[in-house]
Amino acid sequence: MKSLSTPQEAGMASPGLRAMVARIARSPALATLAAFALSIGFSLGLLALLGRDPVEALAVMLDGALGSPRAVADTLVFMAPRLLTALAALVALRCGFFNLGGEGQLQLGAVGAILPSTFLPAELGPLLLPLSVLSAALLGGLWGLIPAVLKLWRGANEIIVTLMMNFIAIYLVKYLVQGPLQPPGSDFNMSAKVPDGAMLPVILPGSRLHAGVLLALAAAAMVWALLYHTAYGARLQAAGLAPGTARLLQLPMRRLVLSSMLLSGALAGIGGAVEVLGVQYRLIDGFSTDIGFDGLAIALLGGLDPLGSVVVALYFGAIDSGTLALQSALSVPAALAQVMASLPIIALACLNGYRLLKGRPLWSSTR
């Protein structure tokens, strides 16, 4: 198959990946629930192994994630950037492009979010906020466009290219906060604080809940409407699910890949802006703990559906706020959050593969 692929086909992921995406997109809620149940069980077992009472630990986590308005606010604040990177992964995967570069696009978005505050006068006031978000979307989108162009132009494997570009972006941010964006006289690896006008306003006084959460939810609604209620969304899905048919219908494949990656990068970029303008208020080296990869897992666990992604992103936000509570109450290292976040996607990949092995795939593009 691979050697027969034409230059036009080079815009798409390999048949195996495509089939996998299609399977996961249609995986029944039961498989996803089983994946979560397996990973929660494993995490509790791990806690028992660390000498903590699993029931007590679970209670602490639930209280830390959902126990009070402040806890819920924390969960939502952790959710927002992850939901945006999930939407980013979803838009690209739906078009058949395996974008593993959400992390890099998020980093570039964070840079974009800080640029207007750096170069424009603070007197612009609240005008700075929309400018910052736009500039984040633009930089993230352009960063996302690069692997798409390389794929169409040189047949470059998007998996490798996007992974490499993640590291380039991370070191670019490191360079910027140690050099050009570091305030004079400072020794810290961070930029100057953005002026009040560029900050995402807090919407629940006394908590960390900021307007970025609303922005992320609005983005989810918009992606939902775009995918299911516009001609563009239908073309995008066709290009991803049935590229052969899509070409036969003379859909503009190249334009679809380019535009979906531009959109994907822009969404991840806004995710970076939400973290910078809503939580940190400055660009900090290492501000993201794999938010981009979390997004990929969320998108797949959410069945590549915007509303499903909202639910799963909420779970991921709860893991982050819950493990923070666990760290302060029972001194469990916060790295547990990464372990817990990684388990459901591994479990889902196994469950899907096993269903394929047993000859009962719900749907397969190779049939």
Interface residues with another protein (CB under 8 A)?
1-3, 10, 14-17, 20, 24, 50, 98, 100, 150, 154-157, 159-161, 163-165, 167-168, 171-172, 174-175, 178-179, 290, 293-294, 296-297, 300, 333, 335-343, 345-346, 348-350, 352-354, 356-357, 359, 366
The residue to which tokens 């990656």 are assigned: 261
Q: Which is nearer to another protein, 174 or 208 (CB)?
A: 174
Q: Which is nearer to another protein, 84 or 296 (CB)?
A: 296
In the complex, least distance from residue 285 CB atom to another protein, rounded to whole angstroms: 9
In the complex, least distance from residue 234 CB atom to another protein, rounded to whole angstroms: 26
- Degrees, nearest 5: CA angle 332-295-358: 95
In the complex, least distance from residue 356 CB atom to another protein, rounded to whole angstroms: 6
In the complex, least distance from residue 286 CB atom to another protein, rounded to whole angstroms: 10
Q: Which is nearer to another protein, 118 or 338 (CB)?
A: 338
In the complex, least distance from residue 180 CB atom to another protein, rounded to whole angstroms: 10
In the complex, least distance from residue 172 CB atom to another protein, rounded to whole angstroms: 7
Tokens of 309: 């992604």
Distance CA 99, CA 90 (A): 9
In the complex, least distance from residue 126 CB atom to another protein, rounded to whole angstroms: 33
Distance CA 62, CA 314 (A): 13
Q: Which is nearer to another protein, 198 or 340 (CB)?
A: 340
Q: Which is nearer to another protein, 10 or 40 (CB)?
A: 10
Task: Give me the residues paired with residue 202 across strands.
Answer: 210
Secondary structure (H, E, C), 41-62: HHHHHHHHHCCCCHHHHHHHHH
Task: Give me the residues paired with residue 190 across strands.
Answer: 284
Q: Which is nearer to another protein, 163 or 251 (CB)?
A: 163
Q: Which is nearer to another protein, 42 or 232 (CB)?
A: 42
Eight-state DSSP code of residue 122: G
Listing DSSP states for 176-188 in one string gives HHHTTTSPTT--S
Cβ-count burial of 288 within 10 angstroms (0-12 exposed, 13-18 middle, 19+ buried)? Answer: buried
Tokens of 218: 């609005």
In the complex, least distance from residue 171 CB atom to another protein, rounded to whole angstroms: 4
Q: Which is nearer to another protein, 103 or 275 (CB)?
A: 103
Q: Which is nearer to another protein, 63 or 285 (CB)?
A: 285
In the complex, least distance from residue 268 CB atom to another protein, rounded to whole angstroms: 15
Eight-state DSSP code of residue 207: S
Tokens of 308: 């499903």
In the complex, least distance from residue 305 CB atom to another protein, rounded to whole angstroms: 17
The one-letter amino acid at 284: I
The stretches of the chain forming alpha helices (DSSP H) are 15-25, 29-49, 54-66, 69-94, 102-119, 128-154, 158-178, 212-229, 231-241, 243-248, 253-275, 291-301, 306-330, 336-357
Q: Which is nearer to another protein, 14 or 207 (CB)?
A: 14
Q: How many CB atoms lie within 10 A of CB 334?
A: 13
3-state secondary structure of 126: helix
Tokens of 224: 């939902």
C-beta of residue 139 within 8 angstroms of C-beta of residue 111: yes
Helix 69-94 vs helix 291-301: crossing angle, to nearest 10: 80
